[in-house]
């Protein structure tokens, strides 16, 4: 392997993780990055000594391997940060994750009552079809709660009405709420939420610190990270990519390759291939769309504005979607303790008016919105900087699965190519998911056979230990047996038969035993069993009565047990669904 050329396109979390893993196996890869620094969308920028991320990036994972890589790379520079975040709506701050009493007190009695009525209505008469995000959310939480807390922010993020977003996107991003999974979590205390955490890790000098340190580690071990180097062509023949063409410092160069790992946008990847790919693949790539991102960072002449790391803005009257307070992520990001650094985040398309605004105009616009929200006054803004991030988020529209399938089927024919990361797989995954795809792709080159497309959001967290998975399979069998529905007729027949036979045999035994007065105590049953006597004839009468009442009791018991169990499972599932909204905005 040391004599073979392994190349990686993209020096983001996925690409650098792949390079690091290869080096652990003695393979020295070449990483191509067209930007001037590593980290991709997880990088940090330096603005006159002030550090900021392209959005906030919490370091939290259930993967031991990912956590270990972070710890080994950053050491004591990896800080533990207590999480504080709020929702800003109707000039009020709502705790986030949502707290019931805080939300109700802020909304008021009338709004709270409307939410309750709307929720009850949704449970009684839900939408018969769940084709859209709006229908999916309304069925679970009621239309009024959905419109109050979810509609405005979601439409800001994705730029389309919620009735045009697919319902399966919501089901994937919010939770995979199977009934068995819900019961298992309730009984065994498994925490499935990916973002409901009270604290998280964060590099002292921004998320980009992790990738800069990882770059140093890779280069010190013999790997290469070529910055300002854009891949412009990939020649393939007989199902393998044979050569890579790139430009660096204005010069075009070509190298032979044996293996390639790509985190470049999958829609762009197909355009690099030579000879040209089939027309249907080109068309499919052209129909995959992305949401762009703008962050306007403002230096504020105030020591502190608010205690949160970030605030979700649900006000429809402003364009900003989320506000970062980088000083509260790490004090080291703001060199002057008397100042604050705020990041105003805007989601848009690359042809939108806000994307085309000049930087000074955007800084003024963001400053005015911060003032309109009464978080500061425009005169407190000392300076600002704008960073535009194209292709930040893959858009899950109605047709994306079909187009992505077309591209994936073609790329399968190229044996030495693997795609990784958010853009490389057109999958809206988290930072640690991207890293894991990179690590597994490197292991594949070394002989493993991991399915990278199995690393996705539909799994509770792909990092759950195999032992826990095996235990959950075993426990699932127990759960299914424990919560199995009782057959009312079978239970009723069994109890009726046993009751009848007991009374029948008890009566016969007393008749056989005899005596001056046969069965004086049992004879009292004639007050309840009309015509009963302690005789052979009475034994059959007792059999009939006892079977009837035993059957009735058994049927009623089974019915009430099934009803109470069904109600419990319904309540359990609804409780899980309501809890799932707590981390909804983190998943957008």
DSSP state string for 236-272: EETTEEEEEEEEETTEEEEEE-SEEEE-S-HHHHHHH
Give the domain ranges of the chain: 6-79+199-287+398-470, 488-574
pLDDT tens digits for 431-454? 999 999 999 999 999 999 999 988
Contact 26, 445 (CB under 8 A): no
Which is nearest to 234 in space by CA: 217, 200, 214, 259?
A: 259
Does 275 sit behind a cis peptide bond, omega within 30 degrees of 0 on the bond before it? yes
User: How is residue 129 written in tokens?
Assistant: 């079809």
Give the model's pLDDT for residue 461. Answer: 40
Instruction: Give CA–CA dist 146/16, Å, rounded.
Output: 39
pLDDT tens digits for 242-290? 999 999 989 999 999 999 999 999 999 999 999 999 999 999 999 999 9
Instruction: Give CA–CA dist 429/411, Å, rounded.
Output: 20
Asked if pLDDT for residue 196 goes beyond 50, the answer is: no
Instruction: Give CA–CA dist 95/88, Å, rounded.
Output: 9
Asked if pLDDT for residue 550 goes beyond 60, the answer is: yes
**Other CB atoms within 10 A of residue 178 CB:** 12
Which is nearest to 392 in space by CA: 238, 588, 131?
A: 588
Note the pTM of the prediction, 2 decimals. 0.78
Contact 243, 255 (CB under 8 A): yes
* Average pLDDT score over residue span 176-202: 55
User: How is residue 386 written in tokens?
Assistant: 């704008």
Does 97 sit behind a cis peptide bond, omega within 30 degrees of 0 on the bond before it? yes
Return the sign of the alpha-carbon dihedral for residues 512, 516, 522, 525: positive
Contact 181, 577 (CB under 8 A): no
Q: What is the dihedral of CA 438, 443, 449, 454, to 10 degrees?
A: -20
SS3 of residue 338 by DSSP: coil
pLDDT tens digits for 321-344? 999 999 999 999 999 999 999 999
The yes or no reply on domain 6-79+199-287+398-470 and CATH 3.50.50.60 is: yes
SS3 of residue 323 by DSSP: strand
Reported as a pLDDT band with limits 50, 70 and 90, residue 466 is: very low
Asked if pLDDT for residue 190 goes beyond 80, the answer is: no
Asked if pLDDT for residue 50 goes beyond 90, the answer is: yes
């Amino acid at each position: 392997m040391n004599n073979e050329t392994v190349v990686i396109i993209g020096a983001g979390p996925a690409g650098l993780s792949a390079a690091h893993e290869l080096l652990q196996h003695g393979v020295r890869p070449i990483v191509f990055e067209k930007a001037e620094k590593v980290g991709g969308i997880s990088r940090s920028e330096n603005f006159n000594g002030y550090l900021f991320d392209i959005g906030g990036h919490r370091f939290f994972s259930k993967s031991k391997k990912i956590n270990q890589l972070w710890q080994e790379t950053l050491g004591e520079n990896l800080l533990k940060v207590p999480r504080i975040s709020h929702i800003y709506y109707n000039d009020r701050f709502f705790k986030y994750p949502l707290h019931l009493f805080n939300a109700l007190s802020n909304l008021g009695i009338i709004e709270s009552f409307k939410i309750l009525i709307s929720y009850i209505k949704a449970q009684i008469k839900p939408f018969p079809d769940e084709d859209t995000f709006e229908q999916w959310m309304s069925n679970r939480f009621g239309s009024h709660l959905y419109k109050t807390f979810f509609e405005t922010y979601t439409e800001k993020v994705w730029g389309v009405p919620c009735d045009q977003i697919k319902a399966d996107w919501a089901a994937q991003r919010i939770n995979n709420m199977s009934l068995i999974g819900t019961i298992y979590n309730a009984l065994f205390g498994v925490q499935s939420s990916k973002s409901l955490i009270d604290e998280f890790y964060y590099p002292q000098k921004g998320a980009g610190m992790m990738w800069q340190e990882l770059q140093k580690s890779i280069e010190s071990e013999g790997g290469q990270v070529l910055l300002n180097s854009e891949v412009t062509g990939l020649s393939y023949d007989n199902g393998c990519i044979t050569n890579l063409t790139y430009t660096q410092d204005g010069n075009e160069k070509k190298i032979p390759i044996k293996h390639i790992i790509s985190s470049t946008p999958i829609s762009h990847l197909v355009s690099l291939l030579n000879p040209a790919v089939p027309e249907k693949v080109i068309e499919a790539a052209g129909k995959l769309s992305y949401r762009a991102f703008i962050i306007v960072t403002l230096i504020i002449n105030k020591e502190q504005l608010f205690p949160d790391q970030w605030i979700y803005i649900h006000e429809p009257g402003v364009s900003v979607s989320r506000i970062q307070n980088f000083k509260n992520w790490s004090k080291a990001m703001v060199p002057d303790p008397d100042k604050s650094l705020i990041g105003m985040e805007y989601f848009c398309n690359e042809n939108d008016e806000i994307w085309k605004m000049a930087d000074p105009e955007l800084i003024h616009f963001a400053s005015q919105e911060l003032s309109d929200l009464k978080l500061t006054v425009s005169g407190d803004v000392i300076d600002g900087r704008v960073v535009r991030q194209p292709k930040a988020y893959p858009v899950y529209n109605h047709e994306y699965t079909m187009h992505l399938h077309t591209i994936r089927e073609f790329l399968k024919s190229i044996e030495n190519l693997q795609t990784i990361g958010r853009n490389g797989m057109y999958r809206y995954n988290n930072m640690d998911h991207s890293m894991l795809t990179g690590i597994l792709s490197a292991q594949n080159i070394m002989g493993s056979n991991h399915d990278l497309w199995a690393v996705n959001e539909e799994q509770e967290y792909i990092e759950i230990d195999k032992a826990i998975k095996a235990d959950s399979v075993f426990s699932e069998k127990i759960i299914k047996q424990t919560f199995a529905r009782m057959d009312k007729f079978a239970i009723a027949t069994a109890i009726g038969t046993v009751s009848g036979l007991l009374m029948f045999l008890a009566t016969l035994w007393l008749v056989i035993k005899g005596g001056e007065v046969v069965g004086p105590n049992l004879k009292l049953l004639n007050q309840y069993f009309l015509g009963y006597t302690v005789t052979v004839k009475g034994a059959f009468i007792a059999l009939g009565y006892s079977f009837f009442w035993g059957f009735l009791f058994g049927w009623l018991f089974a019915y009430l047990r099934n009803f109470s169990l069904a109600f419990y499972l319904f309540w359990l599932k609804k409780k899980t669904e309501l809890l799932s909204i707590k981390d909804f905005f983190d998943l957008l």
